[in-house]
Amino acid sequence: MSKYRKKESSSEDSDSEEERRKKDIKERDEFANRLKAKDESKIRKLAMPAGSGAAEAAKRLKIMETDMREKLVPKLRVESRRKYLEKRKEDKVAELEADIIDDEYLFEEEILTDRERTERAHKKQLLQLAKEHEKARELERLQRYYMPLEKGKLAPELEVHDNEPPQSEQSKWESDQMSSAVFRFGAKDRKAQQDYDLLLEDEVEFVQALRMPGSEKNRKREDSPPPQVKALQTIQEMKKSLPIYPFRNDLIQAIKDHQVLIIEGETGSGKTTQIPQYLYEAGFAENNKIIGCTQPRRVASMAVAARVAHEMAVKLGNEVGYAIRFEDCTSHRTRIKYMTDGTLHREFLSEPDLASYSVMIIDEAHERTLHTDILFGLVKDITRFRTDLNLLISPATLDATKFSEFFDDAPIFRIPGRRFPVDIYYTKAPEADYIDACVVSILQIHATQPSGDILVFLTGLLINTFIITSQDEIETCQEMLQERVRRLGSKLRELLILPIYANLPSDMQAKIFQPTPPGARKVRKIDYFSFVKYVAFVVYLVYICSSCHEYSGNVINDRQYSMESLMVVPISKASANQRAGRAGRVAPGKCFRLYTAWAYQHELEDNTVPEIQRINLGNAVLTLKALGINDLVHFDFLDPPPHETLVLALEQLYALGALNHRGELTKLGRRMAEFPLDPMMAKMLLASEQYRCSEEVATIAAMLSVNGAIFYRPKDKIIHADTARKNFHIPGGDHLTLLNVYNQWRQSDFSTHWCYENFIQHRSMKRARDVREQLVGLMQRVEMELVSGITETMNIRKAITAGYFYHVARLSKGGHYKTAKHNQTVSIHPNSSLFQELPRWILYHELVFTTKEFMRQVTEIESKWLLEVAPHYYKPKELEDSTNKKMPKVAGRSRPDGTN
DNA sequence: GAGCACTGC
């Protein structure tokens, strides 16, 4: 971290520097004390009768529902995503190959460090894998296919048409095959198989590899759908029917006996809703203590709280409440409090010992979000001195042992879920076009397997272990499936195709829970399935840091700078098995994996890489420092983040002035920690005060926080949308354009209609408004002056630069941009207002890697401002505008030891 | 000239 320090400082200077440091630390502590006093008086004020929390919540839910519907804008994309990924894969392989050749040409083996040698080996291995995969795909085109079938059982539709010519052939052929262990579906003889040609264009051959044992081995397979929960069932009856109910007393006893308990149980066992109630009934909420329970997602926190309030027949916000960002639905009466893990993480800042809680439940611990991972370390620490605080860690099955070891061998309490055995099948050869393979497999299953619904997982965006499948892909798959079913006509019984994704309106989602009509089969995505099938690839949000040369989420980190990137990486074995488990909830099931057993063994990681090991830790490090945790290297992490990521975060915080050269939090850093923003953005906001534009910068920060989802661009009105967007452009760049959009919206009195007319997404704007309100509140809290009204934009841009001087690029002689510090070639995103302007110096909000390294949200700056806002980071020489400066031969390639 | 999607504070 010392590399930015002024080396020329004399002893005299260092004395005054030392004094400055002491003064700053003193100020920081005074500031922290003032905040504490504010919080305490706020808590006293809160101890008043509760407001209309429940009504508010109901309203909120309603709004969310409407939002969902509004967001569902039917988009037909001509270009399929597959093609894009295919193309990108080819590019990446070529790039990798070139890289290796380049690398070997430039550096002899002997002069390499161990690390570089490992890296080179990694690259070669990756290239090898990519090539093998390509070969396997060739091979796959020559394969024939099998499909497993239960012995003695034919799908009804195949028996019904026994007398019709094509089917009789089919049927005869089928009975011939019945004696063999593997059911062969399809044949080469196209004439005889005419009607099934549609199915047989490509089949997928599966082999059974293993059986996942279940807890209810002796029960027979049930062909009927699960008994539906009767509407008339009382709450009490329902509570008693939950798998957790018989363990109630044992569980309470175990919690009384052990301060920390790991509760292993699947979602659906009732643990999330019931345990807090059991604890409440057992007196854990006496003496005004709160039973807390964290959830990784907002909707879950709200929904679970509403459910529990209903079960306990109390008003939401009274005895049972929830707290999420922008919304605190609790009162002084609240005894059971649900919250997001991020909210609890923030609560630590004002209550580091969790004094108001008697129990804290960290639910869905296996999801391993950044927040839960940090919470593990924090709560483990406080249980040492708060012996009256009970801690319950609740992961799904499989992970419990790891958590137990982390929490000093805490006992594990298992709540058995209902689980039947699941047979797992793999393809014989890798699949090239997995959407096609998926469609074919669904039809194969439909034609050959007895009753039961089919659950399909497609590639999606993986956020922690929560998969959001891409809408585009689902639609493609659905269209293909419908088309094929249509062509097959009445030969197959009905197949209901029910897509589900985040943007789907809630009434459509409700369909999935309705019982399947007799004789039909559903293809859907939620519990109660007999067949589970999915592909091996999910998309990950991976943080690529400058000095990290290791695998992180199966992506090689070889970039010279920090960048978030979406990558397709294989699913982990753990997630794969969790998905397979879904097939055995109500009856024995089957799981078809669209990859080979070899791939499962050799290409999949055992566990999903936790977020903390993949992403930028700037904000996390800042909050930990604010909690007084100085030694982050030895912080008790369940899985420590890569050392390099931690060092990068510390360096960045030092450069921003949040930490001093000893790594202590400065007063600026303490104020930055108050904001739920990335450190750079927090710095920008705090710097805006001295540039007299804090109102404007708060707006910009809020607008930047709603990730690029401001401008609406429907396919059929692209020209109108683009014209509308250009009307908002302001000389200077995208940050100012965003400010302009917000201000105009405000002038329209936050009108929905205005948004519609101007091709602006109303939903995003509302969110920006929420964020802005929260930021303004926090600005007042950290004693910032709210000022606005400057007439020219220089001050605003200077304030932005004060936070984002890390993200600066200059126009090179060749007409493209290079980052100021790392000399990495980057391009302005085509959506930017500066796309055709090409100013000499620019600052960008973020870098995204899609087909190229693109800078999104770009603003023009002057190089001399960099010396003004970050004199410790930039030297005048670096900012000379002559671009003739000779670059090192291997530009931008830095050694792991820091030398160039 | 790209695009694809999104948790949390």
pLDDT in tens, A155-202: 332 222 323 333 333 332 223 222 222 222 232 333 333 333 334 445
φ, ψ for residue A842, nearest 5 deg: -135, 160
Express each pLDDT in A560-579 by its tens digit: 334 555 555 566 777 677 66
Nucleotide nearest to A856 (CA to C1'): B2
| A50: pLDDT strictly greater than 60 | no
Which of A59-63, A175-179, A444-448 holds the top average pLDDT? A444-448
> In terms of residues, how long is chain A?
900
The whole-number pLDDT of residue A368 equals: 84
Q: Is the CB of A470 under 7 A from strand B?
A: yes
- Give the CA A848 to C1' B5 distance in Å: 13
Question: Tokens 């959009």 label which residue?
Answer: A741
- Could you tell me where the beta strands, DSSP code E, fall in A553-693? 555-556, 563-570, 589-596
pLDDT band at A76 (very low <50, low <70, confident <90, very high): very low
- Give the CA A541 to C1' B6 distance in Å: 10
- Could you tell me where the beta strands, DSSP code E, fall in A159-241? 206-212
Whether the Cβ atoms of residue A226 and residue A451 lie closer than 8 Å to each other? no
- Give the CA A882 to C1' B6 distance in Å: 41
The whole-number pLDDT of residue A160 equals: 27
Q: Is the CB of A541 under 7 A from strand B?
A: yes
* A477 vs A524 pLDDT, higher one: A477
Q: Distance between CA A305 and CA A293 in Å, rounded?
A: 10
Question: Tokens 């497999």 label which residue?
Answer: A441
The whole-number pLDDT of residue A780 equals: 93
Express each pLDDT in A655-686 by its tens digit: 999 999 898 999 999 999 999 999 999 999 99
- Give the CA A676 to C1' B8 distance in Å: 10
Nucleotide nearest to A295 (CA to C1'): B8
Nucleotide nearest to A676 (CA to C1'): B9
Q: Is the CB of A623 under 7 A from strand B?
A: no
Angle at A688 between CA A758 and CA A670, to 5 degrees: 120
Nucleotide nearest to A460 (CA to C1'): B5
Question: What is the amino acid identity at position A501?
Answer: Y
Q: Is the CB of A348 under 7 A from strand B?
A: no
Using only C-alpha atoms, chain A has a radius of gyration, in whole angstroms, of: 30
Q: Please give residues of chain A from 543 to 582 whose alpha-adjacent beta carbon (CB) lies under 7 Å from any atom of strand B.
A: 566
| A401: pLDDT strictly greater than 60 | yes
Helix, strand or coil, per DSSP, at residue A674: coil
End-to-end, the C-alpha distance of chain A in Å comes to 16
Q: Is the CB of A369 under 7 A from strand B?
A: yes
| A335: pLDDT strictly greater than 90 | yes
- Give the CA A471 to C1' B5 distance in Å: 9
> Where are the alpha helices (H) located in A150-286, listed in sequence order?
156-160, 165-178, 197-200, 235-241, 248-257, 271-281
Q: Is the CB of A739 under 7 A from strand B?
A: no
Angle at A697 between CA A694 and CA A700, to 5 degrees: 155
The whole-number pLDDT of residue A340 equals: 93
Crossing angle, helix A694-705 and helix A794-804, to 10 degrees?
50
C-alpha dihedral sign at A609, A613, A614, A619:
positive
* A195 vs A705 pLDDT, higher one: A705
Nucleotide nearest to A88 (CA to C1'): B4
Q: Please give residues of chain A from 635 to 674 whose alpha-adjacent beta carbon (CB) lies under 7 Å from any atom of strand B.
A: none
Greatest pairwise CA separation for chain A in angstroms: 103
- Give the CA A472 to C1' B3 distance in Å: 12
Helix, strand or coil, per DSSP, at residue A505: coil
Q: Tokens standing for A719? A: 């020209």
The whole-number pLDDT of residue A205 equals: 73
| A261: pLDDT strictly greater than 90 | yes
Express each pLDDT in A344-358 by its tens digit: 999 988 888 999 999
Nucleotide nearest to A302 (CA to C1'): B8
Q: Please give residues of chain A from 386 to 425 whose alpha-adjacent beta carbon (CB) lies under 7 Å from any atom of strand B.
A: none
Angle at A442 between CA A436 and CA A445, to 5 degrees: 140
Q: Is the CB of A298 under 7 A from strand B?
A: yes
Q: Is the CB of A297 under 7 A from strand B?
A: yes
φ, ψ for residue A467, nearest 5 deg: -95, 125
* A422 vs A302 pLDDT, higher one: A302
φ, ψ for residue A299, nearest 5 deg: -60, -40
The whole-number pLDDT of residue A55 equals: 55
| Least confident window among A216-225, A594-603, A617-626, A801-810 | A216-225
Q: Is the CB of A466 under 7 A from strand B?
A: yes
Percentage above 70 pLDDT, chain A: 59
CA A287: distance to chain centroid?
Answer: 38
A217 by Cβ neighbours in 10 Å (0-12 / 13-18 / 19+) ranks as exposed
Q: Is the CB of A468 under 7 A from strand B?
A: yes
Q: Distance between CA A445 and CA A438 in Å, rounded?
A: 10
Strand B positions within 7 A of protein Cβ atoms = 1-9
pLDDT band at A393 (very low <50, low <70, confident <90, very high): very high
Q: Please give residues of chain A from 118 to 177 whose alpha-adjacent beta carbon (CB) lies under 7 Å from any atom of strand B.
A: none
CA A615: distance to chain centroid?
Answer: 10
The whole-number pLDDT of residue A66 equals: 43
Whether the Cβ atoms of residue A827 and residue A856 lie closer than 8 Å to each other? no
The bridge status of strand A817-819 relative to strand A808-811 is: antiparallel
Crossing angle, helix A370-385 and helix A618-626, to 10 degrees?
20
Q: Which residues of A582-620 are buried (b: 16+ CB within 10 A; e: fewer)?
A: bbbbbbbbbbbbbbbbebbeebbbebbbbbbbbbbbbbb
Q: What class does CATH assign to A422-613?
A: alpha beta
- Give the CA A761 to C1' B9 distance in Å: 22
Nucleotide nearest to A75 (CA to C1'): B4
> How many Cα atoms are found within 13 Å in the side-chain-facing hemisphere of A847?
27
Residue A485: other Cβ atoms inside 10 A: 19
pLDDT band at A341 (very low <50, low <70, confident <90, very high): very high
Give the residue whose CA sits closest to B9 at C1': A676
The whole-number pLDDT of residue A854 equals: 86
* A896 vs A285 pLDDT, higher one: A285
Whether the Cβ atoms of residue A308 and residue A277 lie closer than 8 Å to each other? yes
Whether the Cβ atoms of residue A843 and residue A858 lie closer than 8 Å to each other? yes
Q: Is the CB of A607 under 7 A from strand B?
A: no
Hey, where are the domains in chain A? 244-415, 422-613, 675-878
> Where are the alpha helices (H) located in A179-247, listed in sequence order?
197-200, 235-241
- Give the CA A280 to C1' B3 distance in Å: 51
pLDDT band at A687 (very low <50, low <70, confident <90, very high): very high
Comparing C-alpha atoms, which of A668, A243, A261 is closest to residue A419? A243
Which of A128-137, A239-248, A273-282, A705-714 holds the top average pLDDT? A273-282
Give the residue whose CA sits closest to B7 at C1': A463
Nucleotide nearest to A463 (CA to C1'): B7
The whole-number pLDDT of residue A190 equals: 32
| Least confident window among A72-76, A302-306, A380-384, A625-629 | A72-76
- Give the CA A80 to C1' B1 distance in Å: 17
- Give the CA A703 to C1' B5 distance in Å: 18
Whether the Cβ atoms of residue A469 and residue A457 lie closer than 8 Å to each other? yes
Q: Distance between CA A597 and CA A811 in Å, rounded?
A: 50
CA A432: distance to chain centroid?
Answer: 26
Question: Tokens 């964290």 label which residue?
Answer: A294
Percentage above 90 pLDDT, chain A: 26
Q: Please give residues of chain A from 693 to 712 whose alpha-adjacent beta carbon (CB) lies under 7 Å from any atom of strand B.
A: 705, 707-709
Q: Is the CB of A449 under 7 A from strand B?
A: no
Q: Is the CB of A763 under 7 A from strand B?
A: no
Give the residue whose CA sits closest to B8 at C1': A342
Question: Tokens 């959001």 label which residue?
Answer: A468
| Least confident window among A106-115, A164-173, A375-384, A781-790 | A164-173
Beta bridge partners of A564: A543, A848
Nucleotide nearest to A827 (CA to C1'): B1
| Least confident window among A148-157, A325-334, A734-743 | A148-157
The whole-number pLDDT of residue A767 equals: 87
| A531: pLDDT strictly greater than 50 | no
A244-415 and A422-613 share one fold: yes
- Give the CA A553 to C1' B4 distance in Å: 20
Q: What number is the average pLDDT over the span A758-774?
A: 88
Comparing C-alpha atoms, which of A824, A268, A336 is closest to residue A527? A268
The whole-number pLDDT of residue A809 equals: 93
Q: Distance between CA A585 and CA A531 in Å, rounded?
A: 11
* A117 vs A629 pLDDT, higher one: A629
Q: Is the CB of A831 under 7 A from strand B?
A: yes
- Give the CA A192 to C1' B6 distance in Å: 49
Q: Which CATH superfamily is domain A244-415 in?
A: P-loop containing nucleotide triphosphate hydrolases (3.40.50.300)
* A252 vs A236 pLDDT, higher one: A252
The whole-number pLDDT of residue A263 equals: 92
| A613: pLDDT strictly greater than 60 | yes
The bridge status of strand A589-596 relative to strand A531-534 is: parallel
The whole-number pLDDT of residue A643 equals: 84
pLDDT band at A601 (very low <50, low <70, confident <90, very high): confident
Express each pLDDT in A26-40 by its tens digit: 999 898 888 888 877
Nucleotide nearest to A301 (CA to C1'): B8
Q: Tokens standing for A512? A: 């999935």
Average pLDDT, chain A: 71
* A866 vs A617 pLDDT, higher one: A866
* A814 vs A570 pLDDT, higher one: A814
Q: What number is the average pLDDT over the span A204-228?
A: 55
| Least confident window among A67-81, A90-104, A777-791 | A67-81
Q: Which residues of A495-518 are buried (b: 16+ CB within 10 A; e: fewer)?
A: bebbbbbebbeeebbeebeeebee
The whole-number pLDDT of residue A45 equals: 59
Edge-to-edge order in the sheet of strand A327-329: A327-329, A320-324, A336-340, A290-295, A357-363, A390-394, A260-265, A412-415
Q: Is the CB of A459 under 7 A from strand B?
A: no
The whole-number pLDDT of residue A571 equals: 66
Q: Is the CB of A815 under 7 A from strand B?
A: no
The whole-number pLDDT of residue A488 equals: 75
Whether the Cβ atoms of residue A349 and residue A673 lie closer than 8 Å to each other? yes
Give the residue whose CA sits closest to B4 at C1': A81
* A556 vs A99 pLDDT, higher one: A99
Q: Is the CB of A677 under 7 A from strand B?
A: yes
The bridge status of strand A327-329 relative to strand A320-324 is: antiparallel
Whether the Cβ atoms of residue A600 and residue A593 lie closer than 8 Å to each other? yes
- Give the CA A101 to C1' B2 distance in Å: 30
- Give the CA A777 to C1' B9 distance in Å: 14
pLDDT band at A145 (very low <50, low <70, confident <90, very high): very low
pLDDT band at A262 (very low <50, low <70, confident <90, very high): very high
Nucleotide nearest to A848 (CA to C1'): B2
